[in-house]
Amino acid sequence: MTGSPIIPGSPPPESATAEAHAVALPWHPPYDWAFVTGFLARRLIPGVETLGPQGYCRAVRLDAGGRAHAGRVRVQADTARGVLRVRFDAALAPVAGPLQARLVRLFDLDCQPAAVAAGLGALAAQAPGIRVPGAFDGFELAVRAVLGQQVSVAAAHTLAGRLARRFGMPLGDLRAGRGAGDRGPRADADADADAGPQWVFPSAADLAGREPAELAECGLIRQRAAAIVALARAIRDQGLRLAPDAPLTQTMETLRAIPGIGDWTAQYIAMRALGWRDAFPAGDLVLMRALGASTPARARAAAERWRPWRAYAVMHLWRGSAISPAD
């Protein structure tokens, strides 16, 4: 799926052509925008992402041609026309194609709801437009998943924001061409602080050279700090890729071999970062309760009927539960 120029008759971009670009990304109806944004809202990384009446906004850095391109991207739903309206800073124009591809994955725009509904049957009948929110960046999502282990959503939210501010880059510095070791005098505040997110989440390269003790200073327990550093080093040293085109079996084996990343976390990463539509974190307590299963094996057996769409079944079961999953 590719974007198209903004549809005639729609509101103009916030800024003129030199300051913002606009595209429209279509979806296959029905599309439950409220569910997707509700899911993302509970997992936003402070300083990196925002979500409100003006839609979803995040700070972005994408590398191309030996250069870093940084700016903000804003996404709103136009339900009348069945598209997401995307506006992004002119600095991101050279990476518009990869940027749109990441948004398609994040908002699961390639999903064919009719096929999912046929596979899930009665489970999907009440909310056929539910999607599996993906990941704008696989490493960022994986870190967020590790942070969400056995803590509240609020606690994981706080820890992710601390990591972003401690090890990420201020958007203003990236725009000025400064690197991590050359932050400007206002590294904690961009000049247009009211315009949206100010921080780009640290990449695997940013964290691979760190020690777990440094991450632990942000409030993480040592085990999770070590897992995040090991994850970053696996990307740097072992060629681990956390994207939909990564080899599924090999990637899952590499993830599970990292101390601190068990099956739940690996399945969650597969579901959202790898785009595996049959991922199923069988040990999730909310899923087990929803399925009336006393063990992960029984939950897995109960979900066999929904293959190969178990990731969508997960979303429906989480939606129907009064208890939110840990992440």
pLDDT digit string, tens, across residues 131-180: 999 999 999 999 999 999 988 888 999 999 999 999 999 999 888 776 65
Give the span between the Cα atoms of 233 and 225, in whole angstroms.
Answer: 12
Please indicate, yes or no, if residue 313 is contained in any of the structural domains. no
Active site residues: 284
Asked if the structure places residue 19 within a domain, the reply is: yes
CATH of the domain at 105: 3.30.310.20
Domain identity same for 146 and 41: no
- Domain assignment present for 71: yes
Cis peptide before 30 (omega within 30 of 0): yes
Determine contact, residues 73/103, Cβ cutoff 8 Å.
Answer: yes
Mean predicted lDDT score pLDDT of the chain: 90
Looking at the structure, tell me whether residues 252 and 147 fall in a common domain.
yes
% pLDDT > 90, the chain: 81
Farthest CA pair distance, the chain: 58
Q: First CA to last CA across the chain, in angstroms? A: 29
Q: Establish if 125 belongs to a structural domain.
A: no
The verdict on 142 and 235 lying in the same domain is yes
Angle, helices 263-272/138-147, rounded to nearest 10 degrees: 150
156 and 253 together in one domain: yes
Give the model confidence (pLDDT) of 10-29 as tens digits: 333 333 334 689 999 999 99
pLDDT tens per residue, range 34-52: 999 999 999 999 999 999 9
Residue 175 within a domain: no
Whether 128 has a pLDDT exceeding 70, the answer reads: yes
CB 258 within 8 A of CB 269: no
Average pLDDT score over residue span 232-238: 98
Pair (145, 226) in one structural domain: yes
In this prediction, residue 196 carries a pLDDT of 86
Q: Please compute, for residue 315, the number of CA atoms within 13 A of its CA located in the half-sphere on the CB side.
A: 28
Report, as an integer, the average pLDDT of 262-266: 97
CB 323 within 8 A of CB 143: no
pLDDT value at residue 189: 45
The enclosing domain of 153 has a CATH number of: 1.10.340.30
Q: Quick one: 144 and 234 in the same domain?
A: yes
Distance between CA 253 and CA 245 in Å, rounded? Answer: 16
Which domain covers residue 244, as residue numbers? 137-165+203-270
Whole-angstrom distance, CA of residue 236 vs CA of residue 208: 7
Q: In this predicted structure, what is the pLDDT of residue 1?
A: 55
The residues with which 75 forms a beta bridge, in sequence order, are: 56, 86
Radius of gyration for the alpha carbons in the chain, expressed in angstroms and rounded: 20
- Quick one: 27 and 103 in the same domain? yes
Tell whether 207 and 145 lie within a shared domain.
Answer: yes
Residue 144 and residue 104 in one domain: no
List the single range of 50-64, 89-103, 174-188 with lowest mean pLDDT.
174-188
CA distances 30 to 131, 188, 208, 243, Å, are: 10, 41, 41, 25
One domain, residues 17 and 84:
yes
Q: What is the pTM of this model?
A: 0.90
At 194, is the pLDDT very low, low, confident or very high (cuts 50, 70, 90)?
low
* 30 has a pLDDT exceeding 70: yes
What are the pLDDT digits (tens) for 269-305?
A: 999 999 999 999 999 999 999 999 999 999 999 999 9
pLDDT of amino acid 323: 56
Listing DSSP states for 197-264 in one string gives --EEPPPHHHHHTS-HHHHHTTT--HHHHHHHHHHHHHHHHS----STTS-HHHHHHHHHTSTT--HH
Query: Domain total for the chain?
Result: 2
pLDDT at 304: 99
The domain boundary residue, chosen from 238, 255, 270: 270
Q: How confident is the model at residue 190 (pLDDT cuts 50, 70, 90)?
A: very low
Do 154 and 266 fall into the same domain? yes
The DSSP output letter for 129 is T
Residue 289 counted as domain residue: no
Mark which of 222, 247, 270 sits at the end of a domain: 270
Q: What is the dihedral of CA 102, 103, 106, 110, to 10 degrees?
A: -100
Query: What is the per-residue DSSP string for 257-281?
Result: TSTT--HHHHHHHHHHTS--TT---
Tens of pLDDT, residues 198-211: 999 999 999 999 99
Q: What is the pLDDT of residue 181?
A: 52
State whether 143 and 241 are in the same domain: yes
Residue 176 is assigned to a structural domain of this protein: no
Alpha-carbon distance 240 to 252, whole Å? 10
Question: Helix crossing, 248-256 with 263-272: angle to 10°?
Answer: 140
